[in-house]
A = this chain, B = another copy of it.
Amino acid sequence: MDQTQNDLLSPPEQSKGEEDQPKGARRRGDVLENAILQAAWEELEEVGYAQLTMENIAVRAKTNKTAIYRRWPNKVKIVVAAIVKHVPQPDIFAPATGDLRKDVINLLQGISKPMQKIGAETMHALMVEYHGNDLSSQLMRPKTEDKLNIAMKNILKNAQKRGEVRLEQINERVISLPADLLRYEILTTHEPVSDSTILEIVDDIFLPLVRQ
């Protein structure tokens, strides 16, 4: 009888490396919320946006749809939340290298990786479902307050101090040009954006325009 007790009671407590809760335990608040967002992110990476289901997110998070819908009203919102949580926001104040070319290349490379992580399929899907929602503010802001745009202007201001460019002669559209081209590349290409693409954007297009 004693043997039997030991054999039956011990195993359930352990099982995997991940902190498993005891049999009837419940996670709440942030703990559960993080588990759901983590599950959503993993599902998104594994099966992609189109194949993503609320049910599967719930299963992976070891909870149920209800817990998800208590927090986010639909698929779009939870996916955006998962992305915001797991994808690093680009640095507005990238460290100045003292060279316009290097600064711009760094900026583009910095944003390239995170956007690749999200993937073109998901971005398109979000832009489809965005129609009508107020979702744009998360991913596609008006250009004047776009983070990348601000970062680019800071870079150009520094370049101006060094006499590399004359800011007042540079068109707004030229300022946003590198970021726009990079985003277009990511949206329309299905392979990852190569470093040489970034170099082309900078050396063959952007620099000739700002240095006139």
B49 and A173 contacting across the interface, CB-CB below 8 Å: no
Is A180 in the interface zone, CB < 8 Å from B? yes
Is A201 in the interface zone, CB < 8 Å from B? yes
Selected from B174, B180, B200, B209, the residue in CB contact (under 8 A) with A173 is B200
In whole angstroms, how far apart are the Cα atoms of A209 and B205 in the complex? 7
Is A25 in the interface zone, CB < 8 Å from B? no
Selected from B121, B140, B174, B208, the residue in CB contact (under 8 A) with A188 is B140
Per the 8 Å Cβ criterion, residues 98-151 of A in contact with B are 120-121, 124-125, 127-129, 131, 140
Interface positions of A (Cβ within 8 A of B) = 48-50, 120-121, 124-125, 127-129, 131, 140, 171, 173-174, 177, 180-181, 183-184, 187-188, 190, 200-201, 204-205, 208-209, 212
